[in-house]
Amino acid sequence: MTHSFQPIFPPACLGILGGGQLGRFFVQAAQDLGFTVCVLDPDSQSPAGQISHHRIIADYLDEKSLKKMAHLCSAVSTEFENVPALALDFLHQQGVYVAPLSNAVSIAQDRFAEKAFLSKLAAKTGIEPVPYAMITNEHDLSALPMHLFPGILKTARLGYDGKGQFVVASQADLKNAWVSLGNVPCVLEKKMPLALEVSAIVTRGFDDHVAIFPLAENVHKEGILHLSIVPARSLSPEAMVQIEKAAKFIVRELQYVGVLCIEFFILTDGTVVANEIAPRPHNSGHHTLDSCLTSQFEQQVRALARLPLGDTRLTSSVVMLNLLGEVWLRFENSPPWDHILEMPSARLHLYGKHAPKIGRKMGHINFLADSMDLAMQDAQQAMQILGIVAD
């Protein structure tokens, strides 16, 4: 497919596959720049669909709908990695500019492909993936090296927010865990002693220009992101440089256009290992909505429209607190937002989801302050107001 590779100017229409909160922020960022937007998602209530100019409520593989999207849009991106790679390929074949392309999305949606990719690059990045083994059938269960225990069994596909994962203490636990995950292809990863979790959000433009956001320190609770803290505390300058270099190398190696997130673990002995990649903006980059000169979503819009990437500079210390469905359930659907909005440091973002569920991401708050201590104190105060237990 040939493209002119001229920038796409507003009010052209940009498309997004997936209508969750990441799609919603994409829509808002695109609209801020004067673009028209089209969301394709099977859910008629999707957070992004609610606010976009055009919405197509359909399965991701529905050809008629994809054709309609291709007809409406000058360019299309995705907000999640589980959108079928075939949908991206189909749109690309229709002649619409698609970024990222399905090669990168396919790697990120399959833990086997992802680990193979990260291992291949380790010679250049100096950063290996977590030690792992693949399990595709029952026979594989008995042939696993002892050093992988205790481990974490993860489904190869469709896992998110710690779903599709089990901690397995020993070989004896493995069979049950695998059966509970539905006998599907899995990876067994060694459970690593983590000192710190860090994510790198990096954007590559079609002209090979690369811009990286300040690294975020991420705190998870039960496998779900709880806090992102920027600048990361206790990250050594050496690890920071190593991770930033690796992230830029990876995004170029993939010939990727758009926003990519790479999660890293810093082990207790200081070693940096690579966890996983996401071919899209990431929850750990939600702070950029308020803390950076350009947000990760505006950056996604700029990359997709072949416009110059924005300045990623951090303008304030920030703590992002995720708001999960339990907060709504605790307050019978009306959490005391007035008490949160009373706090000068708090920027509240709610996603317009109607059905709160335990563990469901419903919103987040960014706390901006002159120092990390102050931002953290306010995050803790908000947790108290909302009944969120730290750990």
Q: Does 359 bind ligand ADP (CB under 6 A)?
A: no
CA–CA separation, 111 and 95 (whole Å)? 30
Q: What is the DSSP string of 72-92?
A: H-SEEEES-TTS-HHHHHHHH
- Which residues 6+ apart lie within 8 Å of 118 measured at CB? 127, 128, 129, 274, 277
Smallest separation, CB 348 to ligand ADP (Å): 24
**CB distance 358 to 279 below 8 Å:** no
**CB distance 189 to 131 below 8 Å:** yes
CA–CA separation, 286 and 220 (whole Å)? 15
Element (H, E) at 346: strand 346-350
Q: Does 108 bind ligand ADP (CB under 6 A)?
A: no
Over the window 3 to 42, marking each residue x when it contacts ligand ADP by CB under 6 A and - when it does not, the resulting string is ----------------------------------------
Which residue in the set 140, 161, 173, 244 belongs to the binding site for ligand ADP (CB under 6 A)? 161
Q: Does 162 bind ligand ADP (CB under 6 A)?
A: yes
Residues written for the chain = 391
Q: Does 339 bind ligand ADP (CB under 6 A)?
A: no
Q: Of 144 and 192, which has the nearer Cβ to ligand ADP?
A: 192
Query: What six digits make up the tokens of 138?
Result: 């029952």
Of 84-92, 154-162, 237-245, 251-259, the segment contacting ligand ADP by CB under 6 A is: 154-162
Which residue in the set 155, 275, 312, 345 belongs to the binding site for ligand ADP (CB under 6 A)? 275
What residues pair up with 274 in beta bridges, in sequence order?
129, 264
| Nearest alpha-carbon partner for 210 in 140, 262, 168 | 262
Which residue in the set 18, 159, 258, 356 belongs to the binding site for ligand ADP (CB under 6 A)? 159
**CB distance 175 to 258 below 8 Å:** no
Which residue in the set 191, 245, 248, 360 belongs to the binding site for ligand ADP (CB under 6 A)? 191
Smallest separation, CB 179 to ligand ADP (Å): 20
Smallest separation, CB 277 to ligand ADP (Å): 10
Q: Of 263 and 298, which has the nearer Cβ to ligand ADP?
A: 263
In the block, tokens 């960014």 appear at 366
- Which residues 6+ apart lie within 8 Å of 371 measured at CB? 317
Q: Does 223 bind ligand ADP (CB under 6 A)?
A: yes
Of 116-124, 159-167, 198-206, 321-329, the segment contacting ligand ADP by CB under 6 A is: 159-167
Q: Which residues are at the interface with ligand ADP (CB under 6 A)?
A: 130, 152, 159-162, 189, 191-192, 194, 197, 220, 223, 263, 275-276
